[in-house]
């Protein structure tokens, strides 16, 4: 079992929902983002989703695009992001870390080299949004063989014909994108999401977490209530982009986490 598997099993045994928090590695600089990352578990975060900055983040809205740009302007790289994970692991051996990004930086580094380094650094899972199931041999299957979860996204447009393909080699959890479009673009509604989560759960034993469009403790509670947990990204990244002090960012994360855990 990976850290992700163990975390979701423990949460299920406790009757609790998962709170997953997304931050961009290197935003606004590596030192600050590492400080935020180190504070997430104490703020109630069960799984950390760490963004890998990329020049063409097609699935991301303006808030996360700007975060990636700030990180790139600060010379954040894949190697530095793995160094961040290593530094985090010096003080935290238990919190799962999912690296979310795009395939180009991984391909450029070399898949075998990347997987070996990611596993050694302490990465537990990958979300690579521009690799469809048809390309599983590129990264998904090698990642699974290396002991990393490969987490797939399902969306409102993932129909009954497509869903089995999406689920085929997914592990760790399924990430349900609650709104059609880019991150941070619309507010998710639990009433619309609930039946979709039930549809996915009828086809898999994996936990299903919902993300995109969750910006308040109340929406975190509502969305976590119809799934196994929720993901908040843009609402956190926005505070970083506004230059809020780290304690203020973490205090807001704690409020969001408390909402999700009430779900």
Of 5, 27, 46, 49, the active-site residue reads 49
Nearest to 47 by CA among 207, 156, 187: 207
The conformation of residue 197, written as its DSSP 8-state character, comes to: H
d(CA 28, CA 143): 29
Token look-up 């549809």 returns: 199
Packing angle, helices 111-121 and 78-89, rounded to 10: 20
Question: With 0-12 CB in 10 A as exposed, 13-18 as middle and 19+ as buried, what is 189?
Answer: middle
Contact by Cβ (8 Å): 19, 256: yes
Known catalytic residue at 117: no
**Exposure string for 40-57, b = 16+ CB within 10 A, e = fewer:** bbebbbbbbbbbbbbeeb
Q: Which residues pair with 101 in a beta bridge?
A: 128
Asked if 52 and 100 touch (Cβ cutoff 8 Å), the reply is yes
Question: Which residues, in sequence order, are CB contacts of 112 under 8 Å at separation 6+?
Answer: 142
Single out the catalytic residue among 5, 27, 60, 228: 60
Catalytic, 120? Answer: no
Active site residues: 49, 60
């Amino acid at each position: 079992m990976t850290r992700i598997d163990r975390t979701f099993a423990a949460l299920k045994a406790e009757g609790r929902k998962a709170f997953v928090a997304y931050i961009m590695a290197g935003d606004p600089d590596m030192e600050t983002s590492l400080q935020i990352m180190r504070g997430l578990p104490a703020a109630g975060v069960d799984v950390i989703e760490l963004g890998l900055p990329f020049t063409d983040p097609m699935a991301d809205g303006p808030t996360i695009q700007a975060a990636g740009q700030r990180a790139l302007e600060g010379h954040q790289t894949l190697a530095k992001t793995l160094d961040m994970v290593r530094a985090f692991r010096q003080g935290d051996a238990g919190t799962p870390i999912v690296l979310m990004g795009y395939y180009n930086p991984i391909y450029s580094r070399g898949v075998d080299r990347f997987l070996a380094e990611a596993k050694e650094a302490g990465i537990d899972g990958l979300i690579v949004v521009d690799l469809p199931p048809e390309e599983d041999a590129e990264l998904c299957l090698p990642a699974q063989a290396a002991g990393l979860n490969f987490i797939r996204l399902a969306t409102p447009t993932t129909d009954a014909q497509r869903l089995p393909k999406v689920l085929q080699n997914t592990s760790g959890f399924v990430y349900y994108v609650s709104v059609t479009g880019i991150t941070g673009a619309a507010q998710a509604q639990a009433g619309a999401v609930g039946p979709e989560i039930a549809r996915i759960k009828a086809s898999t034993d994996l936990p299903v977490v919902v993300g995109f469009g969750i910006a308040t403790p109340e929406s975190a509670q509502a969305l976590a209530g119809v799934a196994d947990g929720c993901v908040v990204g843009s609402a956190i990244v926005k505070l970083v982009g506004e230059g809020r002090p780290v304690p203020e960012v973490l205090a807001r994360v704690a409020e969001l986490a408390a909402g999700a855990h009430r779900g």
